Structure 1
Amino acid sequence: MENAALLSPADVNVIRRYVQTKYAPLSGAKRAEIVATAIRQTIQRRLPELPAEFKERIADDLIRRCLVVEQREIRPDDVLDVCAEIELPDPSAEAMFLDPILRWMNERAPGKWSPELLMNRLLRKEPAAVLAQAEFSAEFGTLAAEALPLPALPRTRPGWDIFGRVPRPALAMAVLVLAGGIAAGVLLGRPAPETSEQPLPSPVLQLPVPSADVGMPTQLRYRDIDTAAVKSYLRSRDSMLADEPYFSAIVNSAKEHDVNPLLLFAVTGQEQGFVPKSNKNAKKIANNPFNVFYSWEEFNTDIGDSADIAARTLSRQGSKRPEGYEPFDWLNQTYAEDPNWSDGVKRIFDKLNSLPPSSYK
């Protein structure tokens, strides 16, 4: 376990496949951003329990050196190499810095590492910051240009320490370019190109701010659906909603409020099992299959009205979703008291999304 990789090609492939599957509707550039963020977070979780600032610095340098420049897995020795080059703000911080690293190394190789051995290992590391930066300046521009249409980084000024003397805004922008480039290369499955012998230009660095994962996600916003396929599925469930005026009322309300029609149908599936015709109250339930205002019994209006209320409620709640919240769980907070509601709606939504296409629409 001592030499087990912190991040291997297999780990990167798992992340890439997961993002490609879960975020298929998003653009390639957006998926690349998500891959980059996931890689960075994975590395940080596997590092020693250092203060967040140190973990961020170490992860950034590991990505730059191992993934971008050398195109290889990240190993525990790489972590020690990076830690050896970090200049602590004052000597009193040494214990805070070294103790977590010692525990981490002994978790990987129980009983092997003593404080003296760790100190000797860190002190014998030859500084490689200048060499690594020179390699990075020469190789990264080509790699990033191949992976994404992003500008290359300007050359590093000689003698700059990677963290201590680089302005934080410049470092943040450098990491963004770096992470975007490597993630896009992995995502698109492109090998790193040969390093050009010609000197690189020094373009002006202009980066768009990556959009946060907030609000109603793309897959839950309005899109055209395979009407015939959805109706066929609803009829297989003996659903009244496959008939008019119910089907069109739901689709029209979805379009008006920019909600995926399949989300509205999924809600009816969770709330009323798609209203089977065999139910003796089917005609009344079909007026409010979303159970808006508590239930179809308490609020028995017509399908146009209830579909409009449901779509507007989902749209408003979805637009307020903050970063870090799973979309269906977020909608659950307003729409239903049952905490398992989101699981059921998501399962039905995924089922409707995976229906085989019809031969006609």
Structure 2
Amino acid sequence: MERIALLSPQDVSVIRRYVQTKYAPLADGRQAEIVADAIRRTIERRLPDWPDALRRAVTDKLIHRCVVAEQREVLPEDVLDACGETGGADSVDAGTLLRWLNERTSNPWSAERLSAHLRSRATEPAMGANGPEGAATAVAAGSVPAADSGAGESGEWRSRRLIAWGRRLAWPLLAVSLAVGLTVAVSRQPARETEPRAVPQPTAVATPVPKPDAGMPEALRYADIDATAVKRYLRTRDSMLADEPYFGAIVKSARKHDVNPLLLFAIVGQEQGFVPKSNKQAKQIANNPFNVFHSWETYNTDILDASDIAAKLLAKLGRSRPEGRDPFAWFNRTYAEDPAWAVGVRKLFDKLSSLPAS
């Protein structure tokens, strides 16, 4: 069988088209940030079942090397390289990694071959030691790797490098977009306070001033819900989301991003009618009932990933809401093309908010 890429040109095309269409009003830098986040999630989701810290470290290395610097698809063997170079080889289960690898490569790997390769990557200098900037410069200059640059690698390994190098010319716009996205994402991190706060001075009592009606409304921020009542209502709709892992994943993402869980359930109701079990494709739809990245057919992930993406987007949109703008209409501008979407979501949110207590 062919090697199964963790990130292929087709994956990237789907993500970029979706972002450019759905987020057309946003600046190019903001679109690049969304593309970068989606690509990171795609790679992380396809890695072996490793600790979060190792998955993040390996994903960083794969993005900077394969996508930004060498501008090519991400292959299973690249994961081995990155794992060895990040020092993660000693902390992973060899059996799990071997099974994962053999499911994705054409030539079977033995435990001995895997162990030897990880050791070699841990002791060799990391490829692309000059970093993404140096590699990107080489691409711009049209340079190619020297014929003997893979002298210490197997024929299969050298072949993979040379084939990938030839393919990378199809990736330049992605590399630029992703590099911008990563830069913007880092620049958005809040700076630490470096100056001591001033000691507050006594002030005269003033008449309270109403808070401006901007940002995420308090009613749409996270609050504990009557889970029993919500599940009871979902079951009247024959919804798969009343069961686990779906219900718990949606509530978990809502809490993580400070979004009212009922807002997420209302959106699922508007997008997919709460995913009735009678639908022949209910299990597939339930993986992405929010239709993030265009639709559940285009981006069929898992419920935790999909709800996390949706909650994160809603939180960001909520924070940017101008004073006086209706929050549901504000979400509608970015989330859906149908102008009636906001009306449907509001009705479902009000319905869920007024359910009889359990």
With the length of structure 1 as denominator, give the TM-score of the two structures: 0.42
Q: Which has the higher contact order (CA 8 A, sep 6+)?
A: 2
Calculate the TM-score normalised by the size of structure 2.
Answer: 0.43
Larger gyration radius, structure 1 or structure 2: 1
